[in-house]
């Protein structure tokens, strides 16, 4: 849902910066790679050590590259299937690093196996939520549903909570409880979103079959195909 309403706002805000990078000869693919690298380093260096505030600051500095690279491609008129594939693939890498960082903390110094398992579930369910949309679109279905907790919601909820929880190190009492709450919220929301997408694909595939789609044909239900970019 946030992806639907917030992306247009941030696109307008980041357009001048995207134009500046283009004038300096920076490519959209380079922005994608640098942004993902920054997110992965921020998540896997700071989060496993419990430094959630600084980890969130580093990740936030790089996470907007996901919108900057697409903006640059549109301004330069060089949008491509490769760019969409690279962007979507590296989004999964970044998401995995963030929730993997949480899991490593709770598996180690955080000493909470339940929350470690919840963080792993958030990681896995986020990948599956994205896959359901990509796979549905690859077999010719629109997958016309705005899920309860898509990628934007997963990141905002988790990173805001992590950043605030990290302020516990600066003497703010009781605030560290926000991260466990956020992980449970993301886990539950991801499960609901997965259900929404599965139900939508089932309905749309039944409608396509009733309309005369041939299972196994390109673009039809049952066909094998590449996965489109998903959230």
Beta strands in the chain (DSSP E): none
Selecting among 91, 95, 112, 176, the annotated active-site residue is 91
Chain centre to alpha carbon of residue 139: 22
CA proximity to 109, closest of 174, 22, 20, 46: 46
Nearest-angstrom CA–CA distance, 186 and 112:
18
What is the 8-class DSSP label of residue 229?
Answer: P
Chain centre to alpha carbon of residue 223: 26
Asked if 65 contacts 36 with a C-beta cutoff of 8 angstroms, the reply is yes
Give the orientation angle of helix 65-76 with respect to helix 52-63, to 10 degrees: 10
Tokens coding 16: 């001048």
Q: Is 176 a catalytic residue?
A: no
Tokens coding 166: 């990290």
C-alpha distances out from residue 11 to 184, 193, 200, Å: 30, 25, 29
Tokens coding 182: 């956020």
Catalytic residues: 91
């Amino acid at each position: 849902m946030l992806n639907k309403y917030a992306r247009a706002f941030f696109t307008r805000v980041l357009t001048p910066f995207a134009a500046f990078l283009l004038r300096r000869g920076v490519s959209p693919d380079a922005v994608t790679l640098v942004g993902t690298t920054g997110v992965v380093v921020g998540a896997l260096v700071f989060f496993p050590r419990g430094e959630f505030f600084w980890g969130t600051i580093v990740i936030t500095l790089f996470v907007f590259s996901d919108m900057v690279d697409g903006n640059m491609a549109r301004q330069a008129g060089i949008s491509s299937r490769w760019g969409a594939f690279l962007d979507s693939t590296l989004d999964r890498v970044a998401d995995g690093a963030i929730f993997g960082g949480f899991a490593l903390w709770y598996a180690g110094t955080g000493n909470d196996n339940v929350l470690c398992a919840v963080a792993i579930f958030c990681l896995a369910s986020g990948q599956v939520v994205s896959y359901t949309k990509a796979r549905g679109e690859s077999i010719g279905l629109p997958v016309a549903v705005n899920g309860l907790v898509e990628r934007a919601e997963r990141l905002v909820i988790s990173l805001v909570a992590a950043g605030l929880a990290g302020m516990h190190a600066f003497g703010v009492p009781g605030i560290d409880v926000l991260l466990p709450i956020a992980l449970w919220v993301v886990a539950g929301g991801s499960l609901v979103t997965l259900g929404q997408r599965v139900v939508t694909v089932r309905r749309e595939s039944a409608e396509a079959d009733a309309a005369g789609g041939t299972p196994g044909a390109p673009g039809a239900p049952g066909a094998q195909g590449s996965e489109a970019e998903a959230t």
